[in-house]
Amino acid sequence: MASSTLLLCTTKTPSSNSLTNLSFFSKPSCLFVHGKRNQEHFKVSCCMGEHNEKMNFDRRDLLLGLGGLYGAANLAPLASASDKLTDEPIPAPSLKTCSTAYIEGNIPVPYSCCPPPLPDGMAMDDVPYYEVPECSQLRVRTAAQVVDQDFIDDYNDAISIMKNLDASDPRSFQQQANIHCAYCNGAYTTVGGKDLQVHFNWLFFPFHRWYLYFYERILGSLIGESTFALPYWNWDNPDGMYFPSMFNQPNTYPDLYDTNRSVNTQNGTFMDLNYVNTEAQTATQSQLLPSGDCSTSGFGTIENMPHTPVHLWTGTNPGTKLSNGNTSYGEDMGNFYSASIDPVFSGHHANVDRMWNIWKSFGGKRVDLTQTDWLESAFFFYDEDCNPWRVKVQDCLDTVKMGYCYAPMATPWVSYKPQKKTTKGKLDPSSVMAAESIFPLSKLDKAISFSIKRPATSRSQQEKDEKEEILKFKGIKHDNKEYLRFDVFLNADKTVNTDELDKIEYAGSYTSLPHAHNASHEFVPRVFNLAITELLEDNKLEDDATIVVTVVPKKGCQVLSIQSVNIELLDC
């Protein structure tokens, strides 16, 4: 039994959709690591099948998703020693210090996001470290668009039971949603008196993996199904780039439905992975609030794109009225404090989690970090029997060991390369200012181009396999109150149009969802890393000692400052 289930997860199963005529499934690792992709592989115009009528829309959305994932090197939470605030692992948060969480700025969440107290007499240090139990049969997480009716019935029942548990029960729906709020909106304090924050840094993947792990086990135990597995929202595949319909049937599946959503989730709207919320007000300098991030800073592209735009695309528009009469702060998915109140949150994060596995399957330098301060970092959860546990990052690196896997679907983006060039030929680095004379940059209120020196040129394939070239923005500070985004290009003109990002020069985007920090905690600026080895090759810049970088503000960047930028080689 167990082996056949395993097989299901490890066999490459080209999807039955219109993309099967493309040879995406052959050796993605070679394609990426060696940069020898067949440029003819991806012809959107002839493979969109039934979506053809939406061609323009599809193109932009699909390619942006791909753009965000472009250069699979960017999938990982890249971090290097210089990004660290501390060399200590981040310990599981102490429930004792759990206090108010904030919606944004100094607006408190109107209820406590802290977990139920430990059993009588138990101190935080007594909470045991979790050992993943042996399992005989894997839970197989399946794409939301292909699960069957029986599954959806079970899933809705499980959430329904969860919603009916007493609010003080750690397994209850409200308590499960509170976990995300507490870890993301400033309820916990960690090393050095800073806010514990599991976004924007290398805790992003492991925190959300452990979160889903317990959430899934709780749901399974509530319906007595030991192999119950969450569905994943397959937004990296054209067939899954809609709001999954099981979450949108208030009459049939009321417990999977959520009222606080944007109209984007209705009527089979094709997803916009380039989504920028245009109605949210623009922050002004006076809205700048102190904030603090903790732990190791420096986050990978997958968190920026498409993770954050999917949140934003799903949640209500900030400033609009919610059904309860309150003014929206992006609820539910568009603000971290409320994101996991929407049942689709787990489907979204299951796909993010799947990306981590896919990234590792490319092999080569796509391996997990080995720093002890990451491996030993820990979180706190209650399990399906209400037992409290501390869990370590090092124990969540292998999902099969954890007892679950992902049923494969097509991954067209793996071998996709944008074709469109916005720039003719090579820009002359001496025609723009040098990075040293532009940074520190006090505000990103207009597009800037600058020249920047590379630490090495004409690197051999072996050197590239050993070290990834990273374009690193350091000391990014901004308001946390609204969505913001800037886009980065190599060898592109300042006038580059960012409504469509499927361009050969596109390197990636920095994004931030509104979230809050405890105003009394120290502000920690962010680091943003972009892996550019492949991009340099594609733009024929590998032999150039100095290159032109262009940064284009897309949303909310009037209040964003950047301390410095450089290019470095990161050990893989």
Binding-site residue set for Cu cation: 180, 199, 208, 307, 311, 349
**How many CB atoms neighbour CB 424 within 10 A?**
7
Q: Which is nearer to ligand C2O, 280 or 447 (CB)?
A: 280
CB closer to ligand C2O out of 203 and 256: 203
**Which of the residues 336, 362, 380, 381 is marked catalytic?**
336
> Angle of helix 204-222 relative to helix 344-361, nearest 10 degrees?
130
Length of the chain: 572
Q: How far is the CB of 208 from ligand C2O (least distance, A)?
A: 6
Minimum CB distance to ligand C2O smaller for 32 or for 379: 379
By CB under 6 A, residue 203 contacts ligand C2O? no
Look at residues 442, 525, 517, 446 and name the one whose alpha carbon lies nearest to residue 486.
Answer: 446
Nearest to 561 by CA among 488, 486, 499: 486
Q: Is 440 exposed, middle or buried (0-12, 13-18, 19+ CB in 10 A)?
A: exposed
Query: In which region does residue 244 sit, left (phi positive, over 0), alpha (psi from -120 to 50) or beta (all else)?
Result: beta
Decide if residue 182 touches ligand C2O (CB under 6 A): no
Active site residue 180: yes
321 SS3 class? strand
Build a one-symbol-per-residue string for 248-287: x at contacts with ligand C2O by CB under 6 A, - elsewhere. Answer: ----------------------------------------
Task: Establish whether 349 is a catalytic residue.
Answer: yes
| Catalytic residue from among 348, 349, 515, 517 | 349
- Best CA proximity match to 433, nearest among 449, 445, 422: 449
How far apart are alpha carbons 145 and 141 in whole angstroms?
A: 12
The DSSP secondary-structure symbol of 130 reads: P
Distance CA 520, CA 522 (A): 7
Is residue 252 a contact partner of residue 153, using CB atoms and an 8 Å limit?
no
C-beta of 329 vs 336, nearer to ligand C2O: 336
Q: How many CA atoms lie within 13 A of 168 on its CB side?
A: 3
Helices marked H in 285-384? 301-302, 308-314, 344-361, 372-375
Annotated binding site: 180, 199, 208, 307, 311, 349
Residue 311 in contact with ligand C2O, rule: CB under 6 A: yes
Closest contact distance (angstroms) between CB of 344 and ligand C2O is: 11
Work out whether 181 is an interface residue with ligand C2O (CB under 6 A): no
User: DSSP code of 118?
Assistant: P
Residue 463 near residue 455 (C-beta atoms within 8 A): no
Least distance in angstroms from the C-beta of 557 to ligand C2O: 22
| Single residue of 199, 261, 366, 555 touching ligand C2O by CB under 6 A | 199
Annotation marks residue 199 as catalytic: yes
CB of 292 to ligand C2O, least distance (A): 17
In the list 9, 184, 396, 476, the residue contacting ligand C2O (rule: CB under 6 A) is: 184
Q: Which is nearer to ligand C2O, 141 or 311 (CB)?
A: 311
Catalytic member of 51, 199, 348, 521 = 199
By CB under 6 A, residue 517 contacts ligand C2O = no
What are the φ/ψ torsions at residue 526 (nearest 5 degrees)?
-100, 160
Number of residues that bind ligand C2O (CB under 6 A): 9
Tokens 């102490």 -> residue: 94
The interface mask with ligand C2O, positions 16-55, x = CB under 6 A, is: ----------------------------------------
Alpha-carbon gap, residue 447 to 449, rounded angstroms: 7
Residue 321 falls in which region: left (phi positive, over 0), alpha (psi -120 to 50) or beta: beta
Cβ at position 367, least distance to ligand C2O in Å: 24
Q: Which of 51, 207, 307, 362 is catalytic?
A: 307
Asked if 212 touches ligand C2O (CB under 6 A), the answer is no
CA distances to 74, 427, 489, 529 from 437, rounded to whole Å, are 28, 19, 19, 21
**208 carries an active-site annotation:** yes
Nearer to ligand C2O by Cβ, of 184 and 438: the residue is 184
Q: Tell me if residue 41 is catalytic.
A: no
Whether residue 515 lies in the annotated active site: no
181 versus 496: smaller Cβ distance to ligand C2O: 181
348 is catalytic: no
Residues 461-490 that bind ligand C2O (CB under 6 A): none
Closest CA to 389 of 403, 376, 397, 379: 379
Where helices occur in 11-54 by DSSP H, the ranges are 28-33, 44-47
Among 69, 113, 339, 552, contact with ligand C2O (rule: CB under 6 A) = 339
Residue 180 is a binding residue for ligand C2O (CB under 6 A):
yes
Pick the catalytic residue from 51, 311, 348, 478: 311
Find out whether 188 and 195 touch, Cβ atoms under 8 Å: yes
Closest CA to 479 of 552, 556, 551, 553: 556
Report the nearest approach of ligand C2O to the CB of residue 204 (Å): 7
Query: Among 84, 139, 194, 307, which residue sits at the site for ligand C2O (rule: CB under 6 A)?
Result: 307
Q: Which is nearer to ligand C2O, 199 or 365 (CB)?
A: 199
* Structure tokens belonging to residue 131: 């050992």
List active site positions: 180, 199, 208, 307, 311, 336, 349
Question: Which residues contribute to the site for ligand C2O (CB under 6 A)?
Answer: 180, 184, 199, 208, 307, 311, 336, 339, 349
